[in-house]
Each structure stands twice: as structure tokens, then as C-alpha cells.
Amino acid sequence: MTDWSKLPKTELHLHLEGAAQPDFIRMLAAEKSVDLSGVFDADGAYKWTDFAEFLKTYEAACEVLKSPEDFRRLTEAVLAKSAADGVVYTEIFIAPDICGAGDAVAWREYLDALFQAARNAEAAHGIAARFISTCIRNHGAEAAENAARLTAGAAGGLLTGFGMGGEERNGSAQDFVKAFAIAAEAGLGITSHAGELCGASSVTETLDHLPVSRIGHGVRAIEDPALVERLAEEGIVLEVNPGSNIALSVFEDWTAHPVKHLRDAGVPVTISTDDPPYFHTDLPREYEMLAQTFGWHSEDFLAMNLTAAHAAFCDEQTRSTMITRLTGA
């Protein structure tokens, strides 16, 4: 078995709270005397059965993440793990609705803590990080517009993207046109979750109405051959999270996952982990499973990492350093 942690990697799709290890959440719960008994199973792992319950557990675990200092500690722990897994550059999803409950003053305090954590992690482990601020689809269009305004007001530096996560079966892409226009106007990179829980039409709607250069997941585009062609032609980059999809039963198993078909059809594909401890995975395990399932080698992963480098929401100096590290040049 190859030790994939040694291979330099770029990760584009990682939710900050979703990357919190259960032990970290339990530590904060103990410090704050919060009862989180419903959140974990008998083995101490996060407990959920389907996507709706996954989101509920996710939100319940977030209950112990209260202060900017909690988020600084979380971010440093997440980045240390990513660096140990070989990640040289990562983009992390955060949410103004969680970091300060949508309040403008609090949001800035959380951002300061997150940026401090990223600087500390870069100094300690050499990993570069950027943040993508997201609206949460099931919080509705108004909350999304507020999140976009908060993000636009703080754009620049380490805050380089805007996106949307949450319950995909709520509302349509069209409801979020204004929020995304605010973010795009501020020069932020744009991505949105689609084609994960909902079918190909959710990806088409996203492409038709939102100014995205990337799609989070997008894998159910496979259901519509014309859409697969469109993704390839327009060079829309997919942030694919195979282990997440399998854990959430979007596909039955690794052999049924369409990532190879999408890549073979010329769609720019990248590999990430989404919410790794929830799905009992990490990036080296994803690589190992892809290598075993599809016969992919280091050259395939290098190609996908270079795709990710070119799609990253960062300045050209950071991109060039990243490419040098990926290629070992």
C-alpha cells in the first residue's frame, strides 16, 4: 500500500467545522460543560444515518464552537492534520452564519482569529490556507445576501472566495442570484455545492444563474451527458469528494462513483474530503481508494492537483509556489 501522505496535495473543498475531529469537539464540550451525548455513537464517532441527520449532528457539534478563540484552536488543529496528510495548500469553507451568527462586528473578530491560525499553521507546518465564506442554503436568500455582504466587506488577504453549502433540496439556485452577484462584484472566487443530493438539473441551474468557476461535488452531472460535455467545454472545475458521496449513499460504492467517467470525459476534476471525520476518511485514504478502484497512479494525482492549483482562489505568487511544491521542481 502506498503512503499517500507523502505526496504533495492541494485541497479545495473542506468545511472547517466538518473537519473537527470528535476528540476536539469532546474536549471543548468538557471545558464548557456542554452535554453532547446525542452527537456521538458508542465508538465515539459522529452519529448520523442520512444527509438530514448529518446536518443536524454537524450543527449540534457546532454548539461548543462559540468564541473566536475556539475557532483559532480548531483551525490550527485542522491545518496541522492537513499538513501531516501532505496538503501544501488548502481552501477552507467558513460561514458568517456560524462565525458570529451573521453579526458584522463579531464576524471581523472571527476572521482575525482564523487568519491568525492560518499564519501560525503556515509558520509551523508550511501549509498555505485561504478561506471561502459560505452562505447556508437552508437559511434562505436573505441570510445568504447578508453573508455575501459580510464576505464582500472583508474580501482580500486570506478571504478569497464565496460559496454555498447546506441542504441542497431547499430552494433553487435562482433564489441566490443577488447574494452571488454581491460576492462576485467584490472580486471573490465563486463556487457552489450542487449535484450532490440533487440531480444533474441542480448543476445546470447553478451554471445558468450563478457566476461559478467551480462546483462543490457536481458529480450527479453524470446523469446528463450534455451537461458533462458542457462542464468539459466551459472548464468548470469539480471539487469531488468521493468518500463523502459514498458515506452519504449518493453512490453505492467506490466502483459506482463517476469520478473516472467525468475525468475521462474531459471535466476538470479535483479531489477533496468535505467533512473527513464524519465520513471516516482523510485525503491519503481517498487517494488510496481511488488508486485501488481506478488504477490511478501518482501522475494521475499530480495532474488533478495541478488542475486544483489552477482553479485555486489565490494570488499568482501563491499559485506559483504551490505548483513548485506539487511538482517537486
Closer residue to Zn ion in complex, CB, 16/267: 16
What's the rounded Cα separation, in Å, for the pair 262 and 281?
A: 22
Given 11, 91, 145, 196, which residue is catalytic? 196
Q: Which residues bind ligand ADE (CB under 6 A)?
A: 15, 18, 165-166, 193, 196, 244, 274-275
User: By C-alpha distance, which of 56, 154, 140 is closest to 103?
Assistant: 154
Q: Does 274 bind Zn ion (CB under 5 A)?
A: yes
Q: Does 85 bind Zn ion (CB under 5 A)?
A: no
Q: Report phi then psi at 31, rounded to 5.
A: -60, -35
Q: Report phi then psi at 89, rounded to 5.
A: -150, 135
Does residue 189 contact residue 313 with C-beta atoms inside 8 Å?
A: yes
User: By C-alpha distance, which of 260, 140, 241, 196 is closest to 206?
Assistant: 196
In sign, the C-alpha dihedral spanning 48, 53, 55, 59 is: negative
Closer residue to ligand ADE in complex, CB, 243/284: 243
Partner touching 244 among ligand ADE, Zn ion, none, CB below 5 to 8 Å by kind: ligand ADE
Shortest Cβ distance from residue 202 to Zn ion (Å)? 14
What's the rounded Cα separation, in Å, for the pair 1 and 251?
A: 25
Shortest Cβ distance from residue 155 to ligand ADE (Å)? 22
Q: Report phi then psi at 166, rounded to 5.
A: 95, -165
Q: Does 91 bind Zn ion (CB under 5 A)?
A: no
Partner touching 243 among Zn ion, ligand ADE, none, CB below 5 to 8 Å by kind: none
Partner touching 100 among ligand ADE, Zn ion, none, CB below 5 to 8 Å by kind: none
Partner touching 18 among ligand ADE, Zn ion, none, CB below 5 to 8 Å by kind: ligand ADE
Q: How many residues bind Zn ion (CB under 5 A)?
A: 1
| 196 included as an active-site residue | yes
Question: What are the C-alpha distances in Å from 2 to residues 7, 20, 29, 156, 306?
Answer: 10, 26, 37, 38, 20
Q: Does 145 bind Zn ion (CB under 5 A)?
A: no
Q: Which residues bind to Zn ion, rule: CB under 5 A?
A: 274
| Active site residue ranges | 196
